[in-house]
Structure 1
Amino acid sequence: MSRIIENPKQLILGKAKEILYNQGYRKLSMRSLSKECDIALGTIYNYYPTKKELVIEMMTDYWQNYLDTVEEIVNSDADMYIKLNNIFNELEVFIQNFRQYWLTTELYDSKEYVEGGLQKEYVFIEKLIIIIEAILMKEQANKNIHIKLGARETANFIIMNFITIVQMPLFKYESFEVFLKELLK
């Protein structure tokens, strides 16, 4: 008689992340995952027909966790600039971890991972821009800021600068915030 596994998809994703984070991409195989989950290899393939699909799902889950954290920040009672600073700080941690686990040569040697990962990345950056745009529009409606370039363009400007500051820390967030306050007054 077969046993019932509650939420096997989450079990598979969780164990796959453990293997990736602790042992690296090369050690992540459907067979090793089956062993770690203590479920049949066929069950793994039912949920994830290929390793690529599994890895892209893990990457998507990683991004979604970040966006969930951003939503918590947005829903807080903090001032807009504190929210933006908190979103930046979370993005900094997110990108550092992303580099460590997802931007490895063993993962990005394959063109299919690069294309699949980039498509997902663009979707999530777009979602992040929409979140920032909503913050800006709310603040403008409350007459706390004045948007000169349009909410969408300003949100895009903010996110692209966040990413640039994290990746090339020659410019400090605090300096960016001074410029942003000038831009939005």
Structure 2
Amino acid sequence: MKKLENQKELIYNTAKEILLSENVDKFSIRMISRECNIGMGTIYKYYGNKDDILIDITQELWMSFLKEITNKEFKGKTFIERIDFYFFMLKKYSKTFNYTILSKKLSTSFKIAGKSHHQKAQKHFVKVIINDLNLYFSINTEEAKVISDFICNNLISLITMTGYSYDTFRIILEKIIKPLKEKTL
């Protein structure tokens, strides 16, 4: 049983290494097989296709991002400074796994499955921001949800779009939260 677990881990880690080294064009079951020095049939025992591997990797990266932002100590930091941190961490993780390059190579089934996982992670991210809003401001539930969705969607858009700067978003966000009643921490 241990050998099987090690093989799946080897396949996963090798696939991730190939992607992280920006060899996206070379990413294939054949390439993973060659790099792992194991048969392609062994890979297919664990993963139906390369998209299944990509889904595991993207899930792990989202979970790492969410874990890192929720475990961060923010003592003495403002709400905006938290959002700054989230943006820069999101940027770091997106650079690690270059979605722009990769998205051109993905199958439709991966895009559908990936979107589902992305939406789950995004919902979790929105909850983190709602908690932050409730920590800093006296705010009703609906308003916190709307503002959190706005923040989350914009942070993700900033990663994928050009022509829209974080500084501009930050100015808009400061104007949005300015009327909110701050809690004393």
TM-score by length of 2: 0.77
Q: Distance in 1 between matches of 2:33 and 2:67?
A: 29
The Cα of 1:86 is off from its aligned counterpart by: 0.4
Contact 1:20 1:101 in 2 (8 A): no
Contact 1:165 1:171 in 2 (8 A): yes
* 1:131–1:37 CA distance, 2 compared to 1 (3 A): same
Contact 1:133 1:155 in 2 (8 A): yes
Q: Distance in 2 between matches of 1:89 and 1:23?
A: 21
* 1:146–1:59 CA distance, 2 compared to 1 (3 A): same
Q: Does 1:182 align with 2:178?
A: yes
* 1:78–1:45 CA distance, 2 compared to 1 (3 A): farther
Gap runs ≥5 in structure 2 = none
Q: 1:158 maps to what in 2?
A: 151
Q: Following superposition of structure 1 onto structure 2, how do residues 1-150 of structure 1 map, counting pairs within 5 Å?
A: 4=3, 7-22=6-21, 24-73=23-72, 75-79=73-77, 80-97=79-96, 98-103=98-103, 105-107=104-106, 110-137=107-134, 139=135, 144-147=136-139, 149-150=142-143
Contact 2:80 2:174 in 1 (8 A): no
Q: Does 1:169 align with 2:168?
A: no
One-letter code aligned to 2:87 = F
- SS of aligned partner of 1:150: helix
Q: Which has the higher contact order (CA 8 A, sep 6+)?
A: 2
- SS of aligned partner of 1:7: helix
One-letter code aligned to 1:145 = F
Q: Percent identity?
A: 24
- SS of aligned partner of 2:63: helix
Contact 1:132 1:155 in 2 (8 A): yes
* 1:23–1:88 CA distance, 2 compared to 1 (3 A): closer
One-letter code aligned to 1:169 = Y
Contact 1:21 1:101 in 2 (8 A): no
The Cα of 1:89 is off from its aligned counterpart by: 1.4
The Cα of 1:70 is off from its aligned counterpart by: 1.4
CA deviations over 1:84-119 (Å, ceiling 9, x no partner):
21011112333445334433x222xx3222212211
Q: Distance in 1 between matches of 2:55 and 2:153?
A: 23
Contact 1:129 1:156 in 2 (8 A): yes
* 1:156–1:120 CA distance, 2 compared to 1 (3 A): same
One-letter code aligned to 1:116 = A
The Cα of 1:36 is off from its aligned counterpart by: 1.2
Gap runs ≥5 in structure 1 = none
